[in-house]
Amino acid sequence: MSFITGKHVARRTMLRGLGATVALPFLDAMVPAGTLFSATAKAAGLDRPRLVCIESVHGSAGSSPWGAEQHLWSPVAAGRDYDLTPTSLSPLESWRKYLTIVSDTDVRNAEAFSQPEIGGDHFRSSAVFLTQAHPRQTESSDVRAGVSLDQLYAQKYGQDTPLPSMQLCIENVDQAGGCAYGYSCVYTDMISWASPTEPLPMIRDPRMAFDQLFGAGGSEDERTARRRSTASVLDYVNGQVKELTRSLDASDKRRMDQYLDNVREIERRIQKVETRNMSGDARTLPGAPAGVPDSFEEHIKLMFDLQALAFQADVTRVFSFKTGRDASSRVYPESGVSKGFHPSSHHGNKPANVLEFAQINRYHVSLLPYFMEKLQAIDEGGTNLLDKSLIVYGSPMGDGNVHNHKRCPLILLGGAKAGLSGNVHHRAAAGTPMANVMLSVLHMAGLTEIEQLGDSTGAFSFSA
């Protein structure tokens, strides 16, 4: 590969080596001489929002009758003068500038429509989250839901990046056949749908995600050999890095060094997890791939790091991220609760139990600032990537205790460049479909031609 020495470097410059392909972050040198950054950014599509859709299963403690009275999810006041202290959103206090809360929307298409569907809420919900469409009850291959929000965006704006989108998850999702109540496991395992009949597989292993982002080159044997070595993917492109950096100014060199250090550090952490998990010691997750950390927190932070790096290098602008699996009894020791996730959601509306579940909700929310800090630290033409991001975080279930889909938890995170004013709590009118909010997200992302998503009755107004 050759570089143009001097000022200009092509935006899609790739560093290639044996079993390695490394995209570059946006550099000042990628702006042609005499051209405004805004024009270059628009031509490269960098003015478009980065979209992340994060599903949390089992609803929230604040969606239960007692929890709603205590405001365990939604603040008491709507508007901008609200108090997060009693809520599970309190870890976002210092991020209010980027926080938009939307309370009391319903996900009716996750409800049972017919008698045979009753009881299948856990095995129907995830397929509804981003499609807002009612899934066909089947245990066979004739699955049907709708096109998901993330894929609508990827189909229009993801075609000019190396990967149109990526789908990540934390829990085991490699089950086949039927799960329960007549539903195929794909409804439970996947949240992204490229078409009404085409769910997209999720990646659980950080090593697989890393290889898609930075190690797609070469044969499978070459990639396997590279993974087994202690070398970094960057060692295979070191000569090209040196050749490129000779043509960069001081600020671009610092940006490149920071980016490459992050790539190397994430790869080092993945290698450390693999070494630990292949040591022969007993694992908390004995059936998980070697690249999957036993620690939920370590796992989710690795996945957030990979998303931030992918955005920085513009490998993709679209992620869906499934942080749990319905009916999972996983324990989160860092939350301070020793009870499993699913049993905790069945709290019987008893105050002490509801508070325990709220504590788990709060712990999950507390991991979001880690991702936001990563995005905020990445500069792209004078604007940080958090300002350019549109992050959807919520659940298609409301009160997990009774498996309903009313007053479902939902927040948006991101900045003005993605259409969000931030620091506001919107309380929806009773019966408002969550699909209305999802439709407005599509409009903010530039898909103004879409008039309906699922059971939407119109775009949700974000006027404060």
Q: 222 or 138: whose pLDDT is higher? A: 138
Mean pLDDT of 283-305: 95
pLDDT-derived band at 175, boundaries 50, 70, 90: low
Q: Is the pLDDT reported for residue 377 higher than 80?
A: yes
Tell me, what amino acid is at 115?
Q
Report the percentage of the chain scoring pLDDT > 70. 91
Token pair of 342 as six digits:
């699913």
Least confident of 7-21, 116-130, 175-189, 285-299: 7-21
Highest mean pLDDT among 11-15, 19-23, 140-144: 140-144
pLDDT tens per residue across span 392-408: 999 999 999 999 999 99
pLDDT tens per residue across span 276-287: 999 999 999 998
Q: What pLDDT is attached to residue 241? A: 87
- Decide the pairing of beta strands 99-103 and 424-427: parallel
pLDDT-derived band at 174, boundaries 50, 70, 90: low
8 Å CB contact between 105 and 437: yes
Residue 358: CB partners within 8 Å, gap ≥ 6?
60, 61, 62, 67, 72, 73, 88
Q: What pLDDT is attached to residue 460? A: 97
Q: Domain 48-204+318-444: give its CATH code.
A: 3.40.720
Q: What pLDDT is attached to residue 4? A: 39
- Phi/psi of residue 427, each to 5°? -105, 115
Dist. CA 287–CA 47, nearest whole Å: 42
pTM of the entire predicted model: 0.94
Dist. CA 227–CA 233, nearest whole Å: 9
8 Å CB contact between 409 and 62: yes
Sequence spans of domains, the chain: 1-41+215-291, 48-204+318-444
* b/e burial code for range 118-133 (CB count within 10 A of at least 16 → b): eebbbbbbbbbbbbbb
Dist. CA 227–CA 461, nearest whole Å: 49
Q: Is the pLDDT reported for residue 58 higher than 80?
A: yes
Dist. CA 259–CA 158, nearest whole Å: 22
Sequence length of the chain is 464
Q: What pLDDT is attached to residue 434? A: 98
Tell me, what amino acid is at 166?
M
Strand partners, 321: 54, 168
Rounded to a whole number, what is the largest CA-CA distance in the chain? 70
- By C-alpha distance, which of 89, 145, 132, 56 is closest to 432? 132
Q: What pLDDT is attached to residue 234? A: 86
- By C-alpha distance, which of 119, 117, 151 is closest to 132? 151
Mean pLDDT of 56-64: 98
SS (H, E, C) the chain: CCCCCCCCCCCCCEEEECCEEEECCCCHHHCCCCCCHHHHHHHHCCCCCEEEEEECCCECHHHCHHHHHCCCCCCCCCECCCCCCCCCCHHHHHHHHHEEEEECEECHHHCCCCHHHCCCHHHCHHHHHCCCCCCCCCCCCCCCCCCCHHHHHHHHHCCCCCCCCEEEECCCCCCCCEEECCEEHHHHHCCCEEECCEECCCECCHHHHHHHHHCCCCCHHHHHHHHHCCCCHHHHHHHHHHHHHCCCCHHHHHHHHHHHHHHHHHHHHHHHHHHHHCCCCCCCCCCCCCCCCCCHHHHHHHHHHHHHHHHHCCCCCEEEEECCCCCCCCCCHHHCCCCCHHHHHCCCCCHHHHHHHHHHHHHHHHCHHHHHHHHHCCEECCEECCCCEEEEEECCCCECCCCCCCCECEEEEECHHHCCCCCEEEECCCCCEHHHHHHHHHHHCCCCCCCCCCCCCCCCCCCC
Q: Is the pLDDT reported for residue 67 higher than 70?
A: yes
Least confident of 72-76, 234-238, 313-317: 234-238
Least confident of 143-152, 183-192, 228-237, 401-410: 228-237
Q: Look at the block and give the residue holding tokens 């080596």.
A: 17
Dist. CA 222–CA 238, nearest whole Å: 17
Q: What pLDDT is attached to residue 447? A: 97
Q: What pLDDT is attached to residue 45? A: 66
Dist. CA 397–CA 105, nearest whole Å: 11
Dist. CA 354–CA 365, nearest whole Å: 17
Q: What pLDDT is attached to residue 5? A: 41
Q: Is the pLDDT reported for residue 116 higher than 70?
A: yes
Dist. CA 201–CA 462, nearest whole Å: 33
Q: Is the pLDDT reported for residue 173 higher than 80?
A: no
Mean pLDDT in the chain? Answer: 91
pLDDT tens per residue across span 406-463: 999 999 999 989 899 999 999 999 999 999 999 999 999 999 999 999 999 999 999 8
Q: Is the pLDDT reported for residue 56 higher than 90?
A: yes
- Decide the pairing of beta strands 318-322 and 166-169: parallel
Least confident of 110-119, 221-230, 310-319: 221-230
